[in-house]
Structure 1
């Protein structure tokens, strides 16, 4: 019997419905004459690990603690652990650990478990992160000052344990195949949660854009871009008659949307392309650090929108996002009580946002 894992594509002709495809029956295919499936899987996971490192390297250094930030770190650790295990098994091929025999078959098994676990975590992570920002930003509730990172770490650990236990205890039905197929059929879970969550986020962005399209056009017309001290500074020149702070929910939403798209527009375009092509991505790739930081920025923007006009004035809130400078987006709309903020805004000819 061959020790290679076969990645077979189950098409509509194999009596697999579209819902079954989204429920985990969609798999990748490769020709056995080409590079081995195990090698391809290792290269894909290695690319994901490198992408995680690049994203972490691009973050701002001073970032406040948040649930989603700690979950991103844990996800990167699980990705690295999966890469190490898969590469170790592929290198030694057939060995025993504590009397348990490990073969190339377990490459598929471990990846299936991780893939299914990733696939069911989208909604829980989104809801817990949304609750975290709702309490800390909208309700201005202070998390325990004593080791707040420890509290988030416990929540993240409990979430991972719950997900793993659910996956290991839940039966997964394998698709029916012809008798001539090899026993080493490796199927990868496709997350329906990721699909619906992506649709909801993109539709929300388009709805806000449609609501504030006039304000967005005004922002674009007044836009000026300059470079100073190796930073790109975006200036918005408003009519001379306008006084600080600027008021209005629609201009504020337009400012949030402009800041969000200024950072994540490539990711939004990528999501739209995936929808148009109906591409199904395995869950072990679909759950990734860039996607989580995209969701993180979205949730912070929603929280600030709900908080307006009583915007928080603490630096701790605005430094939660490591990629979008929400402070420079919200300052022109804040009823600032501190004189230094008023003096700073009066000295500037326009609102300043560093991206």
Structure 2
């Protein structure tokens, strides 16, 4: 799809401002998780991209290291970074999910230095993948560079695929918890299992309520985009807002899938930081204590 260069600059500028606003909003704990550190690196990358595209657009007749800069380079840079952003999507999801899993289960806590190293390595590997292994081919208009006023922009559907996949996993976890309620039985061990199943079910339902209460509108927007088959420009696909939603969704998935309700009595200091969802649970575990 062809997009005017002015629209690209406006979209990049608004995205850049939103990224830094979210970084500032989460500044107290943003370095405590891999996804937070990656959000900072994304804000830096978007800032560099925005400044570079703006400079190329305003000084189309300039030179850099012996290379004549034209508006062709604006389109080329936007397309390359869009492909890099698309290549980062699933690796970020997998690594953030593992980070949340180890944090919530108290098995391991990644340091900010390690998160920074992994983030930098991801950017490098994604760029190498785009240049060396992918079938990416830039699309440039065959017109004189002074006459270029719009660029061909690739679309990405990975956001919708990721959101759909994780929501299906979350739904399966909730359905499984709902099916855990056993029939009443006079036997002590079965009564104990039933009590634990009820606690687990209540815990999962509250997890879903906390998540949906915060992100319901965002889910509606994703559903509309999915139904209307609206393409998301690749250079806008990876954003701070998407990473915030992804953080809450991954926390909900891990909490529903792996954490027994009995751990609530030990406190939830291990839950990854989330500036949008307040992961607090109100039900009592007295039934488990009696069992």
* TM-score of Structure 1 vs Structure 2, range by shorter chain: 0.7 to 0.9
Write out aligned runs for 1:226-241 (5 A): none
Deviation by residue 1:200-250 (Cα, 9 ceiling, x = unmatched): 13434555677789xxxxxxxxxxxxxxxxxxxxxxxxxxxxxxx995222
Taking a change above 3 Å as real, the CA distance of residues 176 and 51 of structure 1, as seen in their structure-2 partners, is closer
Structure 1: 5+ residue stretches without partners: 1-26, 30-36, 214-244, 336-355
1:143–1:318 CA distance, 2 compared to 1 (3 A): closer
CA change 1:171–1:64 in 2 (3 A) is closer
Q: Which residue of 2 aligns with 1:352?
A: none
Query: Following TM superposition, by how much is the alpha carbon of 1:136 offset from its aligned partner in structure 2, in angstroms?
Result: 2.0
| Alignment partner of 2:56 out of 71, 89, 109 | 89
Q: TM-score, normalised by structure 1?
A: 0.66
Offset at residue 189 of structure 1 (A) = 2.6
Pairwise CA distance, 1:43 = 0.5
Deviations 1:274-332 (A, max 9, x none): 01111011111111111111111111112222111342645542352222111x23x53
Residue 308 of structure 1: aligned partner: 260
In structure 2, stretches of 5+ residues that fail to align are 179-195, 287-291
Instruction: State which of 108, 116, 122 in structure 2 corresponds to 1:159.
Output: 122
- Structure 1 residue aligned with 2:2: 28
**Distance in 2 of aligned mates of 1:175 and 1:45:** 20
Q: CA contact under 8 A between 1:60 and 1:322: conserved in structure 2?
A: no
1:318 is matched with 271
Give the equivalent residue in structure 1 for 2:103: 136
Query: Structure 1 CA distance, aligned partners of 2:218 and 2:166?
Result: 12
Alignment of 1:227-306 (within 5 A): 248-305=199-256, 306=258
Kept in 1, the 8 Å contact 2:63–2:69? The answer is yes
Q: What is the deviation of 1:119? A: 0.8
The structure in which a higher percent of residues are helix is: 2
* Whole-Å separation in 1 of the counterparts to 2:5 and 2:210: 41
- State the Cα distance separating 1:129 from its structure 2 match: 0.9
Aligned length: 263
- Distance in 2 (CA, whole Å) between partners of 1:114 and 1:171 is 15
Q: Aligned-pair distance for 1:137?
A: 1.5
Please give the alpha-carbon distance, in whole angstroms, between the structure 1 residues aligned to 2:222 and 2:262: 33
1:172 aligns with 2:136: yes
Distance 2:167 2:109 in 1: 30
Give the direction of change, closer, same or farther, for the CA distance of 1:322–1:73 in structure 2 (3 Å limit): same
**Aligned CA distance change for structure 1 residues 61 and 174 (closer, same or farther; 3 Å):** closer
Shift of 1:334: 6.0
Are the structure 2 counterparts of residues 104 and 333 from structure 1 closer, same or farther at C-alpha, using a change threshold of 3 Å?
farther
Deviation string, structure 1 residues 151-170 (Cα, Å, up to 9, x no partner): 11000000110001111223
Distance 1:175 1:283 in 2: 14
Q: Please identify, of 159-168 and 63-72, the stretch whose mean Cα deviation from structure 2 is larger.
A: 63-72
Is the partner of 2:283 in helix, strand or coil? helix
Name the SS of the counterpart of 1:332 in structure 2.
coil
Q: Deviations over 1:122-177 (max 9, x none)?
A: 11111111111222213x21336xxx110110000001100011112234246799
Q: What is the CA RMSD across the aligned residues, in angstroms?
A: 3.0
Distance change (3 Å), C-alpha of 1:88 and 1:173: closer
Q: Distance in 1 between matches of 2:234 and 2:80?
A: 10
Evaluate the alpha carbon distance shift between residue 282 and residue 51 of structure 1 in structure 2; reply closer, same or farther with a 3 A threshold: same
**TM-aligned CA distance change 1:118 to 1:64, over 3 Å:** closer
Partners of 2:226 and 2:250 in 1: CA distance: 22
